[in-house]
Structure 1
Amino acid sequence: MARPRRRAAPVTSTVRGRGDGVGGIGATIRRVKQTNTAEAERPSLPSPLHALIARAIEGAGGWLGFDRFMQLALYAPGLGYYARESPKFGTMPHSGSDFVTAPELSPVFGQLLARQVGQALQATGTHEVWEFGAGSGALAAQLLGELGEQVRRYTIVDLSGSLRARQRERLAPWGERVVWADRLPAAIEGVVVGNEVLDAMPVQLLQRSAGVWHERGVALAEDGSFAWADRPTDLRPPLEVEGEHDYLTEIHSQAEGFVRTLAAHLARGAAFLIDYGFPEAEYYHPQRHMGTLVCHRAHQVDSDPLADVGDKDITAHVNFTGAALAAQDAGLQVLGYTTQGHFLINCGLLQKLELLPQAGRAQAAKLIMEHEMGELFKVLALGTADATWQPLGFAQGDRTHRL
């Protein structure tokens, strides 16, 4: 997987992840015209979050990189999407939720992932699970329920205070075995799990227009609404994008930084990152010229992150090659990479399906169906440099060679 390649310049029920990305035509420090319906319907009275972001734009000289905009829109304390009390996770829109993740879709997901986590705990001689971005707490409950006394401590790292409160309520049966961490210790010994974590990390947007690369940011329009604004940049995608056509894409400095940070703290154990995305050759394919950035609200997908800010999720697909290389550069090794479908089948899904009632079987099957979660979602396994064991989830269908 390690090969000469040009890296980006350093930076000083709807299944989430499906849908088309945002589009537009770049310009040199000029506003990009918005033509979609969602923008036309933006409220005239700014919300507190809108006002906060507007002040940030003004404080940055009138232009704010999209990664900073996305950070505020999702995580501004008390105001951002993930800081609010809305349900977010659920199978149907009438629950008030915006999208469904695998643990909410079927408890079979966590039950099968527990088999992999249990093997990893035994192989590494550890007894703690770390989960980043635990959402509703559904996955934690499934893992704890299956693993039993094999897990002595379950540590959750989550930026959202409102989600932490829900997690505490849901995980109360496990008492003091479940703890929440505000910062990482010098050394983590255990198994790390991250389900749909990388996709929610802010991304930078790059727009090639008339052969010139720009970074796409956010400015204020005359009426006070948010508007796209591009400016020339030395940033580039990690791969050359063939052709001369206009091209919009994302780069994932924060996600790759997260992987490097994880590598710096993981002294003994393994990590399993599950998300939707592609290897680099697919991610930066010439035909994917509209990027992957989308929003989710009430189980509907839209492509305007500048509208209804704070009321919907903003997400981008994961560049798994970038994450894997960041891990390798920081001293970890890739233990496996495959689709969620292959991973769950390797962990015993087909045998599990035979024991389920019809309704539960139909829901669990969505976890591996190609047009649902089976193909788009991937699993990346990382281990410390001394790891010599083979994770069972990658016994067949391993795609590490495609990274």
Structure 2
Amino acid sequence: MNTLAEIIRREIAQYGPMPFARFMELALYHSSLGYYEREAETVGRGGDFFTNVSVGSVFGELLAFQFARWLDELKVNPAELNNWQPVAPLPPHEPGSAGIPAGAVEAVALAGKDDGVPSSQVQGFNERMRSENCLLARNKWGEDRGEGKSSENGPPLPNPLLPLQGRKGENQVHRESRLLLQIVEAGAHDGRLALDVLSWFCRHRADLLTQLEYWILEPSTDRQRRQSETLREFDGRFRWFSSWESIPPQSIRGVLFSNELLDSFPVHRLGWDAGERRWFEWAVSWEEGRFGWVKLPTGKHAQTEPRQTVSGPVLPPELAAALPDGFTSEISPAAEAWWTQAASRLARGKLLTIDYGLLAEEFFAPHRANGTLRAYHRHQVSSDLLGSAGEQDLTSHVNFGALQQQGEDAGLRTEGLLPQSRFLTEIVKQIERSPQSFATWTPARLRQLQTLVHPEHLGRPFQLLIQSR
């Protein structure tokens, strides 16, 4: 038995059967032994699964292109700071550099097998332009921020974008941030997506980068350290927050997003009792030297520690009558609460998530009688959810319908729920009309795009929920 399994076993011994949501929380997020705290690579060819980011940089570059279009609509005139009203959008940026060939969308299906790369001269030119643009952006940002000037209350304004090392306490949102736009990434993993996004801004929108902060919502100090290493060339362009409580309500103007985050939030595993026509909760027990499943008893599990109970979804009478005994599904109060918190922090802009997911009614399709929970290890899918705690990934489909309702209840407007293939293809069409804003489509980059949009790869499984205020 590994150390984490022993911790779980002791908690079960003390409090009784453990709701699966608690088991999943410990297995993935234990402060030192959880799956996402491991130093070992978990993503990509050498890890347990592939992601949009592990395919290559094209995913982050496409997101950055779209983010820039949204951010252009939100620029604020400093003179109108106190009114919180956006001025008219500035004219579109028109940088000058080589672009992509026409018909890139059609070319995706025809991507060649040759790993062609730009010539050394083109690569050198791109790197020089990137360095010069970033340097200009950093210098301009320092001028705009007035480093070392005093705040209205007397003491000097701290630089909120200091590197992780040597910084005391958590960053707070200052009044000066209201002059800026934000891209807020929740759960940035190792920082590679942030690197791809910021690199695109350096190459193609250095003007917008001077008005931009990249915020990372990350509770783990160990993951913050890894992100800092990945983003070291962008010191001064990003900062961390460990929880929503560190970000005041209505303080974000820009884009708040997560990528493959909410599917790993803890879920309660529910079973259907057809005779009683009610839900029960599957809990984790320890019997005969191994973890097993039991129906969660009602009432207290210890004199001092009542277990939190959850209510299953209310079913239409016809579905309740037809649902077979033992039908299993999942709910994630944690994901819904997270979305509500995110919505409350957005003053103007977009809130979106990219993830595996379904609408509420789709969870009850006959072929999902065992639910959507899966374990992943070395690119193999397993139904053994209780084995190898802390050593395998656990994931469950996101309930987009529930998130959409939470956002709308918080005052957001739903702009769409669409497959990743459609979202990215629309971005590529925009790029074809503005080719100077994107790197050349080499055969290798086209193959990345094909993987991202093809329905048999990542194009159909991933969905995007986009809401705005």
TM-score, normalisation: structure 2: 0.67
1:86 aligns with 2:166: no
CA distance in 2, matches of 1:162, 1:312: 19
CA distance in 2, matches of 1:207, 1:142: 42
Residue in structure 1 matched with residue 5 of structure 2 by the alignment: 50
169-178 or 208-217: bigger deviation: 208-217
Distance 2:364 2:216 in 1: 33
Q: Residue 198 of structure 2: which of 136, 144, 165 is its match?
A: 144
Q: How does 1:364-383 map to 2 (within 5 A)?
A: 364-383=449-468
Q: Aligned with 1:372: secondary structure?
A: coil
**Alignment partner, residue 221 of structure 2:** 161
Q: C-alpha distance in 2, partners of 1:183/1:207? A: 32
Superposition deviation, residue 234 in structure 1: 7.0
Shift of 1:337: 1.6
Structure 1 residue 314: Cα displacement: 0.4
Deviation at 1:238, TM superposition (A): 4.8
Aligned with 1:89: secondary structure? coil
SS in structure 2 at match of 1:365 = helix
Q: TM-score normalized by structure 1?
A: 0.78
Please name the residue that 1:304 is paired with.
Answer: 384
From the superposition, tell whether residues 129 and 354 of structure 1 become closer, same or farther in structure 2 (CA, over 3 Å).
closer
Write the distance in 2 (CA, Å) between the matches of 1:354 and 1:77. 40
Residue 270 (str. 1) matches residue 330 (str. 2): no
> What is the SS of the residue equivalent to 1:347?
helix
Q: Which runs of 5+ in 2 are unaligned?
A: 76-179, 298-308
One-letter amino acid matched to 2:415: L
Name the CA shift for 1:322/1:378 in 2 (closer, same or farther; >3 Å): same
Cα 1:173/1:261, change in 2 over 3 Å: same
Structure 2 distance, partners of 1:159, 1:305, is 25
More moved, 64-73 vs 268-277: 268-277
Q: Is the Cα–Cα contact under 8 Å of residues 296 and 313 in structure 1 kept in the other structure? A: yes
The partner residue of 1:217 within 283, 286, 299 is 283
2:252 is aligned with what amino acid? Answer: I
1:357 Cα deviation after fit: 3.1
Moved more, 158-167 or 336-345: 158-167
CA distance in 1, matches of 2:426, 2:393: 32
> Greater strand share, 1 or 2?
1
CA distance in 2, matches of 1:130, 1:211: 47
Quote the Cα distance in structure 2 between the aligned partners of 1:58 and 1:257.
29
Question: What count of residue pairs does the alignment treat as equivalent?
Answer: 333
Shift of 1:231: 2.9
Equivalences for residues 49-128 of structure 1 within 5 A: 49-60=4-15, 62-90=16-44, 92=45, 95=46, 97-125=47-75, 127-128=181-182
Question: Which residue of 1 is the match for residue 324 of structure 2?
Answer: 245
Matched, 1:173 2:228: no
Superposition deviation, residue 354 in structure 1: 11
| Distance (Å, rounded) in 1 between the aligned partners of 2:422 and 2:310 | 39
Alignment-mate amino acid for residue 275 of structure 2: G
Pick the aligned partner of 1:227 from 278, 285, 292: 292
Q: CA deviation at 1:355?
A: 4.4
Deviations, residues 193-217 of structure 1 (Å, cap 9, x unaligned): 2001110100111111443421011
Please state how far the C-alpha of 1:161 moved relative to its aligned partner. 3.4
State the Cα deviation string for residues 180-203 of structure 1 (Å, max 9, x = none).
Answer: 112331122321120011101001
In structure 1, stretches of 5+ residues that fail to align are: 1-45, 385-403
Matches within 5 A, 1:4-23: none
Letter in 1 for 2:371: G
2:423 maps to what in 1? 343
The one-letter code of the counterpart of 1:263 is A
Paired residues of 1:75 and 1:159 also in contact (CA < 8 A): no
Q: Which residue identity lines up with residue 82 of structure 1 in the other structure?
A: Y
Indicate how the Cα distance of structure 1 residues 252 and 239 shifts in structure 2: closer, same or farther if over 3 A, else same.
Answer: farther
Distance apart, 1:55 and its partner CA? 2.0
Over 3 Å counting, the alpha-carbon distance change for 1:343 and 1:238 in structure 2 is: farther
Identity score, percent:
35
Q: Residue 165 of structure 1 aligns to which amino acid in structure 2?
A: R
Q: 1:307 aligns to what SS in structure 2?
A: coil
Distance 1:341 1:211, change over 3 A: farther
Cross-structure match for 1:320: 400
Q: Give the distance between the partners of 2:310 and 2:393, measured in 1 at CA.
A: 29
What residue identity is the alignment partner of 2:294?
A: A
